[in-house]
Amino acid sequence: MSRSGDAPVLAAPPRTVPVSLVIASTFGNGMSVFGWILAGIGMILVLALGCNSDLGPLMSWAYTGQAQGITVGHRETNWTVGGGEDEPGTPIYATIYQFRTQKGEVQSGEAFATGKMLDPGITVEVRYVPGRPSMSRIEGMRNAPLPFGLLAVLLALLLIGLYCSRIGCQRGLKTLYLLREGVLGAARLKSKEATNVSINDRVVMKLTFAYVDESGLEHEVATRTYRPEDLEDDEEEAVVYDPGDPERAITLDNLPGSVRIGEDGRFAVESPGRAYLSLVMPSITVALILLGLILFIT
């Protein structure tokens, strides 16, 4: 990283960091992007399949009403479990039943089971929500075609994504601290090795750089990237390290947003518009989560 052929000079800390760089560092790093994409996919699947998933285990505390019901029919749903291209899965059946609440109201409902349906005229035990008797189920059967276990897996996917995005945001905040308070140094490539991860059919490489702090002590900083050429184009790479803890450092050329040092000695982003694009996936995911909460409450 250079400026008109001269060595870059940083303004004295604490430096102001532009909003675009705050966004790029917090939401544009690899872990944060991965987390928000995973959470978004998980939430889309929750919304797509959640309305057809059994919420009985979550709402069991509300099913306090008890009544005897009778089955009046059954039908085959469009859902199956298992199977493959050459073998059909096990169908999920719906059993239609009626029961009378404690207030004397006649209610109808459907209970679901995999590979099982009840013939008409069978007496069954029914549990329902007293304040909302349309919410009911036959004891031992589901109140939706898909089992709760599937929804639990999707919710776990969502939570894992949110956890990864949290880690990414924390890393971004540490990066911002170094950009605001750190000292600029020059590092030389010490080692380069392939990892077991690939992105866009390119192997992610681990590059280790060595740099000397203000006290003359040597330290190392490692970074992972699937574009190692961005960190090998100069004889020395710019790093920023914490003067209070020189082991904490970052390589500037691997930061999201194409960071540069401006004429005023402060950091800037080459493409602010691309930095703001890193807000798209978090915004979509948060909107989907809010939509899911609204649908669940109503």
Q: What is the pLDDT of residue 5?
A: 44
The one-character DSSP state at 118 is: P
Contact residues for 229 (Cβ-Cβ < 8 A; gap 6+): none
- Per-residue pLDDT of 226-263, as tens digits, reads 888 878 877 888 889 998 898 899 888 888 767 778 77
pLDDT digits (tens, 9 = 90+) for 35-93: 999 999 999 999 988 888 888 777 788 888 999 999 999 999 988 888 777 788 889 99
Token readout for 292 is 């899911």
3-state secondary structure of 155: helix
Structural domain boundaries in the chain: 19-29+162-297, 59-145
**Strand blocks (E) in the chain:** 65-81, 90-100, 106-114, 123-129, 132-138, 183-199, 202-212, 218-225, 237-242, 245-251, 259-261, 267-269
Which CA distances in Å does 246 have to 211, 251, 258? 10, 13, 23
The pLDDT tens digits of the residues spanning 167-199 come to 999 999 999 999 899 898 889 999 889 888 887
